[in-house]
Amino acid sequence: IDKTGTLTEGRPEVVGLEPAVGVDPHHLVRWAASLEQASEHPVARGVVREAERRGLQLGSVQDFVSEPGQGVQGKVDGKLFRAGRLSYVVADGASAPAQAGHALGTVVHVAEGSRYLGSLHLADRVRPEAREVVAALRAEGVQVVMATGDRRAVAEEVAQAVGITRVEAELLPTGKREWVQRLRAAGEVVALAGDGTNDAPALAEASVGIALASGTDVAMATAGITLVHGDLRGILRARRLSHATLTNIRQNLVWAFGYNLVGVPLAAGVLFPVTGVLLGPMVASLAMSLSSVSVIANALRLRRVRL
């Protein structure tokens, strides 16, 4: 299960700013939000909401580029800005303070060319049903793992809150996909739940991809299942319905096989030498119809399954 927007509500809010020396906090928020307004990531939307709360007028973005799992860059007011991971924003030679990136919560670093401007710290609330769902899945024998691109300290904090003991953190989109590939190569059946563009490669690689309708279009297009209301309990319902469906299919196969095992010899006249009885075309037609009706009636029992 992904973290941001899946285990959490996907509405991170700015809870702190760390502008570099000489940088106005309002300017830091405006530059970051101007850049992030072109991104679909939940963290980006949180930055934009902070700018709106402060009543800041955003600049237009040109030459926007998004690097999944890393950050975004583009020109605002004719200047090149980067926002995202610390390693990404300092790639042009920007020098960040030694303590940058150590705080809890999601951190968005911002740089203008080779000048480090500061960071925005965001926090997101855990979904109220997350702990219940994790506990129920574990009770049913499912190994639950958090797979996220966020920093390990942040990931483990959320994992502890929802009862997850295994965390795969700081995964880039390709890393998450490769991690799923390794699990499947080892013989595991992997269901992955995620909501973002960063999750799409891994959703496509998983045995079952599960997307939240509150997420991005590419995640929903890639996944095999979409939770329309964004409720994680849909994972439990889908899994239980799948088990009930497979059980129903096996029952129908056994019934159809047994029915034909008896019906075909009768239609072929196996009783004729003894009793002189043959099944007429009308009787055979009725028998085949009853076979189909019985299979459909058994399948309709799925409507009564408690999910």
Q: Compute the distance between CA of residue 238 and CA of residue 210 in angstroms, rounded to an integer.
A: 10
The half-sphere exposure of 290 on its side-chain side, counting CA atoms within 13 A, is 9
CA distance 273 to 285: 23
CB of 69 closer than 8 Å to CB of 172: yes
Beta bridge partners of 74: 81
Burial 143-163 (b: 16+ CB within 10 A, else e): ebbbbbbbbeebbbbbbeebe
C-beta separation of 68 from 62 below 8 A: no
Give CA torsion, residues 150, 153, 159, 163, to 10 deg.
170
Residues 46 and 79: their CA atoms lie apart, in Å, by 23
Catalytic residue, candidates 2, 124, 150, 199 = 2
- The Cα 202–Cα 246 span in angstroms is 25
2 has catalytic annotation: yes
* CA 61 to each of CA 32, 47, 72, 75, 79: distance values in angstroms, whole numbers, following the listed order: 11, 15, 11, 6, 10
Length of the chain: 307
List the catalytic residues.
2
